[in-house]
Structure 1
């Protein structure tokens, strides 16, 4: 893990600055103590990051669970009773892992996963614009369309005009301009601009701005527009911030219902995030999903025992990690230690960071998740990909994460049913003649995203020094998701000395570059190979 520390350390700093306000904001939206969000972030980084098989995924408190937590605390009669449900939810997640339920994540089509990433990117942008101008900082961490203050995502945008804060807006604009300049120009000019990351620079600049103008009538930034980390006076007051579960409530039926709800929703969010993270990972790592459930379950048990919120793998922090060059799980682990050290040693310094600066960082993250070029690409892939994609995006923006994903999945299933996926299995034959691994894989007539898990597992388990013959002579329909898996597999095939021959009715292709070109020549998403 330490081989890539030069990449992981800068990335961990960026993730830290993204995670800090999210941990606090999600705790606020959940009606829980602010410190509970930090506990979940610390455990998500150090414990889950260490146990997870994901190299670039980052875990912590999730906005998608905020509504469940808020309701459960009231229903169960207090936060200590709710913590029992968190612990039990973690145990249920361990059971999911043992039962190998992680394969569920592979049954979500690529278009829905991309729609989820894009929808979250749009939500980040819409939610952070008010914060960027120094208005309504609380709603920035409430990721649902209808907000806890009675408004909605768009009503907050309309209210900005009469509520712009000059100081917060100025440092936000300067930070955003510097981040863009850093990414597009400076990072390509000199090595120093790769070592020192733009987000770290704008945070330091934000603190300096706050100190210089704190007595200014026009540009001073008020406390409600700054990070708000709890400040303990001594070791005793620090320890008093921890809460512990009231296990006498374990006989309460509502506690068990909440526990199953947390386990189910947290596991689903995690598996979807794993799939999405692997999709945008430039190194195409494959995360073992059952191990991820075991790691998340362990994290939730520990978080619940010491007063933390429920934990999932989260796409905002994970994508920030990838975009910042994170290469191994060390970036997630280090970010957890940075959270721990900072809340103990420098909480007053953290409380000088303007929220508009952090909003600028998140605006860049959101834009990279929802680039305009992606909409054009998905449209050009044809209706079978674009309809589920746009349904997911619209659902997430106008409802919430899980409803949006459910809508996209339902549309995706209808699309596949229209195409008919009978006999969509594939056949795998191994021949060890002449002492060589010679493997023939024949795909059936119809191959859809339902086969993703099985095909991915087979390709990932191929031994080194293998000669793979991929037979498509009987295949009439090859789903775009399967093509992505095959193209991702080519990325690793060279490293494992795997030679590939593709056999189809169009002829035989024996080198990888021609193999990729073969798929790129397919018209949109029709991919009729007959």
Structure 2
């Protein structure tokens, strides 16, 4: 595929953009509500994320917009800073900081996250998506679509909201949700492989059209009708002045406020981290295995946040929910992300009334499929079979992500680092010992690993101290390319003990073989100002 020509794959990108649009529309509105911001601010962020960030980014499948992971930070900031217009200054500052991050080439940070943590993040988000859509699927819409936290401000939790379904279930919303889910399953599992028509016309689009028709034909029914709180709610301006009046502008008189600046840096760091993790995850899901230039992505996100903040939008990140929906719907290039932005723009200008006839349960059915595909049960089995070193950071990330995004990723990363250090601790050397003759003399061969750091001091020291008297030690460093100064000092200390314990040392290296070296430091020619030796 030639990704340099974004128009070559429109037959795949257009249907995918429509799916992403239907996924993004309720999320943009819901995340704004969950953030305590005007609903229109979420739509602005979605439009900017699609058109501006999509155009500047070189991520072929990533989709940007307002992120649920920032909702708590945004809600607190708007209250503490004293108003939405003041908060918008922080969004602009965050964008500038992200641009600087990009030019400083800090995008490489994302590559230091273990694969198990990335998979855990994807799976955890998939579970959140699935669980959060269950109440909306049955017509329980007391809370906004973007209320993603496990512990919610109204005292409810993810599971208590699900248990409340029986009290608030809407028959009409439930029925059309089930119909939509059936359409999606039949379309993807049966029809899509039988004709190109079913590949061009996507199941989610058919489900939404059926949902609109259902609402229109049942709106006068007392039992099967769908009430307004179970429908998409896009603002409907009556004239151009009311449309322009929906925009907010930053109060730059507060740009010197230290709290505003700190909030801007906080948003920049969290948004950059979420974006880089999403980029890594999206690249793993890309069937063509393309690699996104992360520094350019940070610059694109920064420009997007500056633009969003200037006209009243929420902070923007690349978002795995929309990105995975894009991939699963067959998107091929960044045109699908750009087109979804134009569809959001067209929806609020041309057809807001029609958009407001879409049942939220239909959109919930779409997201249930997305969530399930991200968190398939087979993935848990795969990670378990990969061993505890992969499974532990994976499952910890999955579980803690249900409570807080940064907590899940942070603890998962910390566990991954500890496991890596433990492996390094274990894999410092290979030891083989034999008793060579009747006199009781022992022969021991110790082969040091390719890289030996101060983390390996304990194991090497333990092995050396456990050597019995009258031992012939063959120390092989021919494979070693990096030897820490601390380890060299241990060897020198052991050399002095070896004389009293009748231990003879044979040092084998690429520089030659030495019997009982006088000094390991001198042999390795370690200068005083160096703290390591590189072969």
2:306 paired residue number? 301
Unaligned runs of 5+ in 1: 425-443, 448-472, 476-530
Q: Is 2:44 the partner of 1:50?
A: no
State whether residues 166 and 218 of structure 1, in contact with CA within 8 Å, keep that contact through their aligned partners in structure 2. yes
Question: Structure 1 446/218 Cα, relative in aligned 2: closer, same or farther at 3 Å?
Answer: farther
User: In the aligned structure 2, how far is the partner of 1:189 from the partner of 1:275?
Assistant: 33
Matched residue SS, 1:50: helix
1:511 alignment partner in structure 2: none
Does 1:365 pair with 2:392? no
Change (3 A) 1:213 1:300: same
**Aligned partner of residue 161 in structure 1, secondary structure:** helix
| 1:182 aligned partner | 187
Is the 8 Å Cα contact of residues 33 and 144 (structure 2) preserved in structure 1?
A: no
2:122 aligns with one of 113, 117, 130: 117
* Residue in structure 2 matched with residue 231 of structure 1 by the alignment: 236
Q: Alpha-carbon deviations, 1:424-475, whole Å to 9, x = none? A: 9xxxxxxxxxxxxxxxxxxx8469xxxxxxxxxxxxxxxxxxxxxxxxx969
Q: How many residues align?
A: 431
Counterpart residue number, 1:11: 16
Equivalence for 1:256: 261
Aligned to 2:399: 394
Moved over 2 A (4+): 136-140, 421-424, 444-447
Matched, 1:408 2:423: no
CA drift at 1:141: 1.7
| 1:53-64 equivalence runs, <5 A | 53-64=58-69
The structure 1 residue matched to 2:286, chosen from 281, 306, 329, is 281
Equivalent pair of 1:143/1:400 in contact (CA under 8 Å): no
Task: Name the Cα RMSD after superposition.
Answer: 1.7
How far did residue 289 of structure 1 move?
A: 0.4
- The residue that corresponds to 1:290 in the other structure is 295
SS in 2 for 1:312: strand
Residue 206 to residue 257, structure 1, CA distance change in 2 (3 Å): same
Structure 2 matches for 1:425-504, cutoff 5 A?
A: 445=450
1:407 to partner: Cα distance = 1.2
Residue 45 of structure 2 is aligned to residue 40 of structure 1:
yes
Of 126, 134, 137 in structure 2, the residue corresponding to residue 132 of structure 1 is: 137
User: Is the 8 Å Cα contact of residues 29 and 148 (structure 1) preserved in structure 2?
Assistant: no
CA distance in 2, matches of 1:10, 1:421: 51
Deviation at residue 162 of structure 1 after TM alignment: 1.8
Shift of 1:229: 0.3
- Per the alignment, residue 432 of structure 2 pairs with none
Deviations 1:49-89 (A, max 9, x none): 00001000000000000001100011111000000000011
- Is contact 2:89–2:252 with CA below 8 Å preserved after alignment? yes
Correspondence for 1:78 among 79, 83, 87: 83
Determine if contact 2:65/2:319 at 8 Å carries over to the other structure.
yes
- Tell me, what secondary structure is at the counterpart of 2:330? coil
> Residue 209 of structure 1: CA displacement?
0.3
For residue 140 of structure 1, report the CA deviation from its aligned partner.
3.6
Tell me which of 164, 167, 172 is aligned to 1:167: 172
Structure 1 position 148, deviation (Å): 2.6
In structure 1, how many angstroms separate the alpha carbons of the residues matched to 2:196 and 2:372? 25
Shift of 1:136: 2.8
Q: Distance in 1 between matches of 2:264 and 2:426?
A: 38
Provide closer, same or farther for how the CA distance between residues 215 and 84 of structure 1 changes in structure 2, counting only shifts above 3 A.
Answer: same
Change (3 A) 1:421 1:35: farther
- Output the CA distance in 1 between the equivalents of 2:297 and 2:425: 30
CA distance in structure 2 between the aligned counterparts of 1:28 and 1:133, rounded to whole angstroms: 20
- Counterpart CA distance in 2 for 1:64 and 1:445 is 41
Tell me the distance in 2 between the aligned counterparts of 1:3 and 1:446: 48
Report SS of the residue matched to 1:162. helix
Measure the CA separation in 2 of the matches of 1:421 and 1:10.
51
What displacement does 1:422 show? Answer: 10
- Residues 1:268 and 2:276 are matched in the alignment: no
Q: Deviations over 1:330-362 (max 9, x none)?
A: 000000000001110000000000000000000
Q: Is 2:407 the counterpart of 1:419?
A: no
Instruction: Note the residue ranges of structure 2 that are not aligned, 5 or more in a row.
Output: 1-5, 429-448, 453-477, 481-535
Q: 1:134–1:356: 8 Å Cα contact kept in structure 2?
A: yes
TM score, norm. by length of structure 1: 0.80
